[in-house]
Structure 1
Amino acid sequence: MTENESTHFGFQTIKAEEKAQRVRAVFDSVASRYDLMNDLMSFGIHRLWKRFAVELAGIRRGQKILDLASGTGDLAARFAGLVGPDGLVVMTDINESMLNQGRVRMADEGLVGNVCYTQVNAEQIPFPDNSFDCITIAFGLRNVTDKQQALNEMYRVLRPGGRVLVLEFSHPRGKPLQSLYDFYSFKFLPKIGKVVANDEASYRYLAESIRMHPDQDTLKGMMEQAGLERCDYHNLTGGIVAVHRGFKL
């Protein structure tokens, strides 16, 4: 995107050049309570969603993994155990506060030998072509300004035979579930943010950003446009969340 183009920040339309800074401010605000809020918002189900994504990733010992938008490292911690001492997990986030939270957590869990950290914008991944066996991004793609460019970059740095996994909030299947989800997202979720994190606005943005994210079939098409093949997706919890997967053949 050029600096004169517009994009969405939740339901607001803003200049594309402003989005990264605004997203950074949101996660600066919520970083210290991020894990607690994840458990409260999803009633702990996010752990099952992430476990399913890890299983789909098919990580093997000795592999090199890039985890984009790592946050506090839920996926990276699992990958570190799977790749073993001869493998490598590159844990990244565009937000320094979130990356620092993840670094502290990984040190606390003793995961220091095969994990490295770097601040990365997913639209401009600073690694050579064909560098990684698997690339993951969990609950981060919707915050990226130019999602197609990010997917193009993932394809570029993925090795032939590797896979990309996108775990993200999506579009629930069926009107009853959609209506219930809307009520929860816009009435209940911001109130949790206000009480627990003292930040109602950031959690209102998160709810809005989910609604503006491409639906399952649109995102699958974007992955195919990036060059990924055999793309599919798996709906979880009625489509509230979906795991998309694509391969570089």
Structure 2
Amino acid sequence: MTETSQTVSFGYEDIDAQDKTARVGAVFSSVAKKYDVMNDAMSAGLHRVWKDQFVRRVKPRAGEQILDMAGGTGDIAFRLEKAGASVTVSDINQDMLDVGIERAMERGIDSLVWSRQNAEELSFPDRFFDAYTIAFGIRNVTRIDKALAEAHRVLKYGGRFFCLEFSTTQWPGFKEIYDTYSHKLVPRIGTMIAGDADSYRYLIESIRRFPPMPEFERMIRDAGFTQTKVEPILGGLVAIHSGWKV
């Protein structure tokens, strides 16, 4: 089954494509206020290291226009704006954006632009941004190919695309340990911290249904990007994907 068929994956379910956006929206509305706490709990704080590494690869510069898609709670944007870049934080879920705006106010950060957007149908003009980032969000998009095409459209020539996303680790032994942890313990952690096992069960299942690293790299190339690259972390448990618009 492909992302261009009439049905798409929602965790381990196959559902009508037109229903996915609403169902994913309900998941993130449910977990928004505890999202960052849960990230710490599920990754033992490693998500912070991964995001730091991701932003180092982006190399934000003062004066650049950067779109941080699915940036909800601001984790990536806060790191990008330190370099003096002009960052637009976009997310389809207003509850996630509200959490990010509140966090920005607490930090005294008022330079970010917050914009509710669907990654598949961005309202921004062609060739507007110098860089496009998306961290742990692309797998929740209904039509990944459309989101990638929109990323390519809004980037300037010479613009760069960076995506941080879970994948499948290739390390022998570790994969089995992680599978057991994620399927059995993460929903329980979700219940204890966020009072919501089902949403976190979906998030884990969505990782399993996401295309393997070589296939996702091919999708990025098919969207028009060149010089694509994949940087596996922890054997591919997480990967940084990148490409250029030339």
Normalising by the smaller structure, the TM-score range is over 0.9
Partner residue, 1:214: 211
Partner residue, 2:117: 120
CA distance in 2, matches of 1:46, 1:89: 21
Partner residue, 1:225: 222
Partner residue, 1:169: 166
> Are the equivalent residues in 1 in contact too, given 2:71–2:135 (CA < 8 A)?
yes
CA displacement at 1:15 relative to structure 2 = 0.4
CA displacement at 1:118 relative to structure 2 = 0.7
Partner residue, 2:30: 29
Check if 1:141 corresponds to 2:144: no
> Are the equivalent residues in 2 in contact too, given 1:3–1:16 (CA < 8 A)?
no
CA displacement at 1:175 relative to structure 2 = 3.7
> Are the equivalent residues in 2 in contact too, given 1:3–1:15 (CA < 8 A)?
no
Secondary structure, aligned partner of 1:232: strand
Matched pairs, number: 245
Partner residue, 1:100: 98
Q: Give the TM-score, by structure 1 length.
A: 0.96
Equivalent positions of 1:145-160 (< 5 A) are: 145-160=142-157
Query: CA 1:191 to 1:160, structure 2 compared with 1: closer, same or farther past 3 Å?
Result: same
Q: For each residue in 1:115-155, what CA deviation from the matched residue of structure 2 results, as whole angstroms up to 9, or x when unmatched?
A: 11110110011111100000000000000000011001000
Gaps of 5+ in 2: none
CA distance in 2, matches of 1:14, 1:111: 40
Check if 1:202 corresponds to 2:202: no
Q: For each residue in 1:180-231, what CA deviation from the matched residue of structure 2 results, as whole angstroms up to 9, or x when unmatched?
A: 1110110011000011111000010011000000111111000000000000
> Are the equivalent residues in 2 in contact too, given 1:235–1:243 (CA < 8 A)?
yes
Q: For each residue in 1:99-123, what CA deviation from the matched residue of structure 2 results, as whole angstroms up to 9, or x when unmatched?
A: 00001111111110x2111101100
CA displacement at 1:71 relative to structure 2 = 2.0
Equivalent positions of 1:9-28 (< 5 A) are: 9-28=10-29
Partner residue, 1:237: 234
Letter in 2 for 1:20: T
Query: CA 1:215 to 1:3, structure 2 compared with 1: closer, same or farther past 3 Å?
Result: closer
Secondary structure, aligned partner of 2:61: coil
Partner residue, 2:52: 51
Letter in 2 for 1:43: A
Secondary structure, aligned partner of 1:201: helix
Partner residue, 1:72: 73
CA distance in 1, matches of 2:21, 2:226: 29
Letter in 1 for 2:91: D
> Are the equivalent residues in 1 in contact too, given 2:136–2:166 (CA < 8 A)?
yes
CA distance in 2, matches of 1:69, 1:236: 21
> Are the equivalent residues in 1 in contact too, given 2:4–2:143 (CA < 8 A)?
no
> Are the equivalent residues in 1 in contact too, given 2:3–2:144 (CA < 8 A)?
no
CA distance in 2, matches of 1:36, 1:108: 16
Q: Give the TM-score, by structure 2 length.
A: 0.97
